[in-house]
């Protein structure tokens, strides 16, 4: 009887612990299996129509790929933060946009109205580059090392502090 009780308590604690862990886990945050791996080559064109490979956009330096769209409301909230960071760090980190499932004119108008934070934006009207990168929501931001390895992915809008944090810890830029 006592042995049975002794076993029951840790078993129940384990079960409750697992449940608590499960409840704290945010199902909207899907870990990316691409983190730690080199970015796949993604050939296409910029919003301006120039041919590019998204994976080589850093040109030997660190880069940030910010997924945005004119229809995305959180992108409009996030954008001033990205514009300010690009002004401050844009010479050391390549700020690249990924215009996701958008129309060219709408994307261009959006940038004209809100300021263009990016060296250029990859034009992805069919969401192909998005799937290559495992994009499932907008905005998303990918941090890529100088050697092309994906270091981290942020889902949802960035605020100024978290963006600074990423740039400092991942790229040593501040």
Nearer to another protein, 80 or 127 (CB): 127
Written as six digits, the tokens of 62 are 């660190």
Closer Cβ to another protein, 4 or 49, answer by number:
4
Closest distance to another protein from the beta carbon of 145 (Å): 19
Nearest approach, Cβ of residue 11 and another protein (Å): 6
- How far, rounded to the nearest angstrom, does the alpha carbon of residue 19 sit from its chain's CA centroid? 29
Q: Which is nearer to another protein, 11 or 41 (CB)?
A: 11
Nearest-10 crossing angle of helices 160-171, 73-89: 50
Contact residues toward another protein (CB under 8 A) are 1, 4, 7-8, 11, 15, 27-28, 30-34, 101, 126-128, 130-134, 136-137
| Smallest gap from residue 31 Cβ to another protein (A) | 6
Q: How far is the CB of 72 from another protein (least distance, A)?
A: 12
**What distance in Å separates the CA atoms of residue 96 and residue 6, rounded to the nearest whole number?**
58
Comparing CA positions, the residue from 110, 17, 16, 25 lying closest to residue 66 is 110
Residues 89 and 117: beta-carbon distance below 8 Å: no
Q: Give the nearer residue to another protein in terms of CB position, either 7 or 160.
A: 7
Residue ranges of the alpha helices (H) in 115-149?
Answer: 128-132
């Amino acid at each position: 009887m006592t042995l049975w009780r002794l076993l029951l308590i840790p078993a129940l604690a384990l079960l409750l612990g697992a449940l608590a862990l499960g409840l704290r886990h945010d199902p909207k945050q899907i870990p990316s299996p691409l983190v730690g791996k080199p970015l796949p080559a993604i050939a296409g064109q910029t919003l301006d129509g120039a041919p590019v490979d998204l994976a080589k956009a850093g040109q030997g330096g660190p880069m940030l790929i910010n997924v945005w769209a004119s229809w995305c409301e959180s992108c409009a909230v996030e954008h001033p933060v990205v514009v300010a960071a690009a002004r401050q760090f844009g010479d050391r980190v390549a700020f690249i946009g990924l215009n996701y499932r958008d129309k060219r004119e709408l994307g261009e108008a959006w940038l004209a109205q809100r300021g263009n934070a990016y060296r250029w934006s990859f034009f992805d009207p069919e969401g192909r580059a998005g799937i290559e990168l495992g994009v499932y929501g907008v905005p998303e931001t990918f941090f890529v090392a100088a050697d092309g390895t994906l270091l981290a992915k942020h889902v949802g809008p960035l605020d100024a502090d978290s963006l600074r944090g990423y740039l400092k810890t991942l790229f040593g830029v501040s």
